[in-house]
Homo-oligomer: A and B are copies of this chain.
């Protein structure tokens, strides 16, 4: 039956990701993983280890591909436009047909990963988004694109929360238009350099 591996690991990880994405870590059965990947139990265990190890591999690949894709928009010079493009890319991504709803990382974070190692890895990947956003805001501040009084950490926390809110809303059934609305309003919170006041010292 074998001799040399007959499948592409990344391809299998992508297919397995769909199952975890749809059913959650605990909800994904080995049987479902077999069906989706087309591999037998033996192959899965041999190639990736047990369920937790497989999921960790899935998480890492997801973070490196789907999760990282929208972040490329942050590299454009205009910090505000970059952030907005990132959020819109996330919304577009979620609405691509034939894909499970929501975001794998957010779903898993909110779900019930019995394995502590899984929880830790998810938290690690989510923390990375926070770091990237903080760096983005810091860059905007150092290039005088936002109001000087802005708290960079607070702003990064906000947009990270918005990203999670997008995932949660989409998982709950929101369509693309609803996500676009959320982004429209969220971008109103961006502290343009023209504005006088910083964050939090609103006189109202």
Contacts and interface: CB of A to CB of B under 8 A. Distances in A.
Contacts of A162: 161-162, 165
Interface of A: 23-24, 26-27, 80-81, 102, 106-107, 109-112, 114, 122-123, 126, 151, 153-155, 157-158, 160-169, 171-174, 178, 181-182, 184-189, 191-192, 199-200, 202, 204
A23 B162 CA distance: 25
Nearest to A28: B112
A192 to B, nearest CB: 7
Contacts of A109: 110, 168, 171-172
Nearest to A107: B110
Given A24-B112, A26-B112, A110-B102, A188 B185 contact: no
B181 A114 contact: no
A100 to B, nearest CB: 11
16 contacts: A24-B24, A109-B172, A110-B111, A110-B171, A111-B111, A126-B172, A153-B181, A154-B182, A155-B185, A161-B169, A161-B182, A164-B168, A168-B168, A186-B189, A188-B191, A192-B204
Contacts of A123: 172-173
Nearest to A194: B204
A97 to B, nearest CB: 21
B154 A184 contact: yes
Given A26-B112, A106-B110, A112-B24, A185 B158 contact: yes
